[in-house]
C-alpha cells in the first residue's frame, strides 16, 4: 500500500494569499512550513476558473472536455470515474469534509445525492460510497444551503443562522445597502462565534473521522474549506486581525479611473462591458452589481476580509495536522494544498471571477509536502502544472497505476523532473452560455512564461480577438500583445500548441441543471 494523503483545498484563493508565495498580509505559517519542507509550484493553473468544472477536474484528473462539466450548474455524471473511487477500491479509507460542489447547489427538489445527504444528515449516499468517498460531510458558504453544516447550525445554534450573508444573494442579487464599513458587495459583519464558524466546523468533522480510523489503515482525506470565497463574512470577533484602513491597495488595482478604463479597453470587449454594467456573462458575480461603482475603500475592506479568512483556514489546517501527528501518522503523510481558482480582489478594478484568463484567477497556490519517509526533497517548480495533474499524483503516492482515463500526469518533484513529465503547456478553458443570450468561448495556454488566450466567435467577440502577455516583462498583464506584429510568430505558435493540446469538444454538451 502507499502513503496516507491529506488533500487540502480552499475556494477562490489567490496565489499571493500565502506568505510562501510572497503574501505580506495574511499570516499562514502552517502552509508556509509545508512549503519549506516540500515542493512549491509557482505556476499551477486550473483547467477552468470557476468551482464546479475545476472541482470535477481535481476529482477525475480529466480535462473539462472529457469529464463534461463545462460550467457551474452542470453536474458531474454519476458514472464518472474518480480518483477517490480508485483509491477506495485499492483499500484506502476515503472521506471528504467541507465543500464538494460536484453537483448543483440550487436543487430544491433534491435531485442530486449531495443535497439529499446534506438535508437528511446522511454521510453516505443510499447506494453506498458517493464518488468514491465512504464519508462526506458538507459545508458551503454560510448557514443556509443543502449541506450538513447548515442543518447542524440550525439544530444547535439557530440564533446564528441570520448572522451570515444570505446564500442566494451570492449570485442573484447584491446586498442592497452594501455591507461592512464601506458598503462593499458581499461583505457582512458576522456575529457567529469563531468556534462554530464553518472553517472550524470542517476541521472538527475531519478530525472526528480520522480519530475513528485504525492506526494501520491508509486513508485519503479531502479537507475542503469553503473560504475565502465570497460572501466575505468571517466572525466579527476576528476583524481585529487585519484592519482594512491599515492596508495598501493591491498592485493590480489601477487607482486612476481613466487609466483603469484605458486598460480594460485594451482587452477584448467583454472586459469593459462587464465593468460598465452592460453585460452579464456568467453567474459568478452578483447580476446587479456594476464593477465601475467599486471604490478603493471597498477594495481594501474586501481584501481585509479575505486575509482574515485565509488566516482562519491556516489555523484550522494546523489543528488537523496536530491531530494527525497525535496519531503517529506524520512520517507517513503526504499533504497537498491548493485551491480551485482565484479571485480578482480589486485587480483591474474588478471583484469575483468569470471569463477572464489572467493571473488573478488562474495562478493558484499549490504546495506538496511529501511524507518525510519518502524521497521528496524541498524544491521550487517554476514550470506550469495543472490541477488535472493532482489525481495522477494521488495515484502515484498510493502506489496505484495511473489509469488511461486520466489526462493529467503526476506532478514533478523538482525542476529536473519537468522535462520528463509529458507536459506541452497547461490549458484553461471557458464556455459560457447564459440564459440572457450571452455566449463567450475562450481557451488559454501557458508556455515559457507566455500566456496566450484565443477567443471563439460569440455574442461579445467575432473570433479574431485574443490576449497575449509576456509574464516575465508584464506580470500584471497590463500590455496585451495579441495584435503586436513584432510578436505575431510567437502568437501563432502558441495558438498552434493550443490546438494540438486541446481535446475535441464533445458533440453534445451536458445540460446545465442550475445556475450554481
d(CA 454, CA 466): 5
Residue 159 forms part of a structural domain: yes
Share in percent of the chain as helix, strand, coil (round to 5): 35, 15, 50
- Other beta carbons within 10 Å of 438: 18
445 CB-near residues (< 8 Å, 6+ apart)? 425, 426, 427, 428, 451, 452, 494, 497, 498, 501
Q: Is 151 exposed, middle or buried (0-12, 13-18, 19+ CB in 10 A)?
A: middle
Q: What does the DSSP 8-state code read for residue 332?
A: G
- Retrieve residue 250's grid coordinates: 493591491
Neighbours of 201 (CB within 10 A): 21
Alpha helices (H) in 38-144, listed in sequence order: 51-60, 64-67, 83-89, 113-120
Q: Tell me the mean pLDDT in the region 385-392.
A: 98
Say yes or no to pLDDT of 171 above 60. Answer: no
Integer Cα distance of 391 and 370 in angstroms: 15
Any domain includes 201:
yes
Say which range, 1-5, 40-44, 432-436, 506-510, has the weakest mean pLDDT. Answer: 432-436
Q: What is the pLDDT of residue 1?
A: 64
Average pLDDT over residues 231-259: 97
Q: Over 60: is that where the pLDDT of 284 sits? A: yes
- Structure-block grid coordinates of residue 381: 517548480
Model pLDDT, residue 264: 97
Q: What is the pTM of this model?
A: 0.97
Q: What is the pLDDT of residues 200-239, one digit of tens each?
A: 999 999 999 999 999 999 999 999 999 999 999 999 999 9
Identify whether 472 is part of a domain.
Answer: no
Quick one: average pLDDT of 7-33? 98
Cβ pair 398, 218 in contact under 8 A: yes
Look at residue 174 in the predicted model and tell me its pLDDT. 47
Q: Of 153, 186, 187, whose CA–CA distance to 169 is shortest?
A: 186
- Which structural domain, as residue segments, surrounds residue 184? 4-416
Confidence at 419, pLDDT banded by 50, 70, 90: low
Q: At which residue does the C-alpha cell 443535497 appear? A: 115
Q: Give percent of the chain above pLDDT 70.
A: 97
Mean pLDDT, rounded, for 293-305: 98
The answer to whether residue 464 sits within a structural domain is no
Angle between helices 296-326 and 198-211 (to 10 degrees): 10
In 212-363, which ranges are continuous DSSP H helix?
A: 257-265, 269-275, 296-326, 359-362
**309-336: per-residue pLDDT in tens?**
999 999 999 999 999 999 999 999 999 9
Distance CA 436, CA 423 (A): 38
Ramachandran area for residue 452 (φ above 0: left; ψ -120 to 50: alpha; else beta): beta
- The answer to the question of residue 264 being in a domain is yes
Say which residue, 121 or 422, is predicted with more confidence: 121
pLDDT tens for 458-495 read 999 999 999 999 999 999 999 999 999 999 999 999 99
Is the CA virtual torsion 237, 51, 388, 465 positive or negative? negative
pLDDT tens-digit series, residues 57-88: 999 999 999 999 999 999 999 999 999 999 99
Do 474 and 266 touch, CB atoms closer than 8 A?
Answer: no
Give residue 178's pLDDT: 73
Buried b (16+ CB within 10 A) or exposed e, 302-317: bbbbbbbbbbbbbbbb
- 483: cell is 495584435
R_g of the chain, CA atoms, integer Å: 21
- How far is Cα 410 from Cα 371, in angstroms, rounded to an integer? 16
Residue 92 lies inside a defined structural domain of this protein? yes
Instruction: Give dist(CA 466, CA 192) in Å, integer.
Output: 45
Q: What percentage of the chain reaches a pLDDT higher than 90?
A: 87
- For residue 461, which of 270, 314, 316 has the smallest C-alpha distance? 270
Cβ-contact 99, 224 below 8 angstroms:
yes
Task: Please report whether residue 26 resides in a domain.
Answer: yes
Q: What are phi and psi of 32, to 5 degrees?
A: -60, -40
Cell 500590455 maps to which residue? 479
At residue 262, does pLDDT exceed 80? yes
Residue range 509-514: mean pLDDT, rounded: 92
Nearest to 220 by CA among 390, 67, 410, 65: 390
Cβ contacts of 294 within 8 Å, gap of 6 or more: 185, 346, 349, 350, 351
E strands, 375-476, are 379-381, 385-386, 426-433, 439-447, 450-455, 466-470
The mean predicted confidence, pLDDT, of the chain is 94
Helix (H, G, I), strand (E, B) or coil at 36: helix
User: What is the tally of structural domains in the chain?
Assistant: 1
Q: Cα(195)–Cα(156) distance, rounded to whole angstroms?
A: 13
Please report how the helices 113-120 and 148-156 are oriented relative to each other, as an axis angle in degrees rounded to 10: 20
Residue 507 CA to residue 489 CA, distance in Å, equals 32
CATH code at position 91:
3.40.720.10
pLDDT over 90 at 359, yes or no: yes
Residue 400 lies in a domain: yes
Strand partners, 94: 220
Residue 99: CB atoms within 10 A of its CB come to: 28
- Residue with C-alpha cell 488595482? 253
Over 80: is that where the pLDDT of 177 sits? Answer: no
∠ CA 242-11-181, rounded to 5°: 35
Pull the grid cell for residue 516: 450554481
Amino acid at each position: 500500500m502507499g502513503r496516507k494523503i491529506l488533500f487540502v483545498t480552499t475556494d477562490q484563493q489567490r496565489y499571493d494569499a500565502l506568505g510562501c508565495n510572497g503574501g505580506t498580509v495574511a499570516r499562514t505559517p502552517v502552509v508556509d512550513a509545508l512549503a519549506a519542507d516540500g515542493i512549491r509550484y509557482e505556476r499551477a493553473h486550473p483547467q477552468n476558473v470557476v468551482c464546479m468544472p475545476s472541482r470535477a477536474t481535481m476529482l477525475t484528473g480529466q480535462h473539462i472536455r472529457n469529464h463534461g462539466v463545462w460550467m457551474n450548474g452542470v453536474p458531474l455524471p454519476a458514472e464518472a470515474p474518480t480518483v477517490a473511487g480508485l483509491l477506495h477500491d485499492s483499500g484506502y479509507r476515503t472521506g471528504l469534509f467541507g465543500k464538494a460542489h460536484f453537483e448543483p447547489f440550487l436543487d430544491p427538489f433534491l435531485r442530486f445525492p449531495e443535497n439529499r445527504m446534506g438535508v437528511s444528515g446522511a454521510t453516505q449516499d443510499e447506494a453506498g460510497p458517493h464518488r468514491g468517498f465512504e464519508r462526506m460531510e458538507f459545508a458551503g458558504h454560510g448557514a443556509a444551503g443543502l449541506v450538513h453544516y447548515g442543518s447542524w447550525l440550525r439544530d444547535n445554534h439557530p440564533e446564528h443562522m441570520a448572522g451570515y450573508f444570505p446564500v442566494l444573494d451570492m449570485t442573484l442579487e447584491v446586498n442592497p445597502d452594501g455591507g461592512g464599513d464601506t458598503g462593499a458587495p458581499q461583505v457582512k459583519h458576522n456575529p457567529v462565534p469563531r468556534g462554530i464558524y464553518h472553517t472550524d466546523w470542517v476541521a472538527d468533522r475531519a478530525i472526528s473521522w480520522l480519530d475513528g480510523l485504525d492506526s494501520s489503515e491508509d486513508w485519503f482525506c479531502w479537507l475542503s474549506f469553503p473560504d475565502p470565497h465570497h460572501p466575505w463574512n468571517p466572525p466579527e470577533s476576528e476583524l481585529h486581525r487585519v484592519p482594512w484602513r491599515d492596508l495598501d491597495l493591491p498592485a493590480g488595482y489601477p487607482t486612476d479611473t481613466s487609466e483603469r478604463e484605458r486598460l480594460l479597453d485594451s482587452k477584448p470587449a467583454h472586459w469593459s462591458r462587464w465593468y460598465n454594467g452592460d453585460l452579464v456573462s456568467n453567474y459568478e458575480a452578483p447580476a446587479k452589481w456594476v464593477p465601475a461603482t467599486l471604490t478603493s475603500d471597498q477594495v481594501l475592506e474586501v481584501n481585509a476580509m479575505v486575509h482574515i479568512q485565509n488566516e482562519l483556514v491556516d489555523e484550522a489546517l494546523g489543528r488537523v495536522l496536530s491531530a494527525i501527528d497525535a496519531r503517529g501518522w506524520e512520517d507517513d503523510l503526504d499533504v497537498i494544498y491548493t485551491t480551485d481558482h482565484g479571485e480578482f480582489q480589486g485587480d483591474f478594478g474588478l471583484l469575483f471571477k468569470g471569463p477572464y484568463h489572467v493571473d488573478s484567477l488562474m495562478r493558484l497556490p499549490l504546495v506538496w509536502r511529501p511524507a518525510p519517509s519518502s524521497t521528496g526533497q524541498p524544491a521550487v517548480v517554476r514550470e506550469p502544472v495543472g490541477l488535472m495533474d493532482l489525481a495522477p499524483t494521488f495515484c502515484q503516492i498510493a502506489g496505484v497505476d495511473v489509469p488511461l482515463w486520466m489526462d493529467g500526469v503526476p506532478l514533478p518533484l523538482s525542476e529536473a523532473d519537468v522535462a520528463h513529465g509529458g507536459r506541452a503547456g497547461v490549458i484553461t478553458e471557458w464556455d459560457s452560455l447564459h440564459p440572457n443570450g450571452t455566449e463567450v468561448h475562450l481557451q488559454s495556454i501557458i508556455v515559457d512564461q507566455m500566456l496566450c488566450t484565443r477567443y471563439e466567435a460569440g455574442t461579445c467577440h467575432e473570433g479574431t480577438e485574443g490576449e497575449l502577455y509576456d509574464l516575465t516583462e508584464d506580470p500584471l498583464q497590463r500590455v496585451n500583445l495579441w495584435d503586436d506584429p513584432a510578436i505575431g510568430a510567437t502568437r501563432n505558435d502558441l495558438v498552434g500548441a493550443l490546438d494540438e493540446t486541446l481535446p475535441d469538444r464533445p458533440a453534445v454538451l451536458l445540460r446545465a441543471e442550475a445556475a450554481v
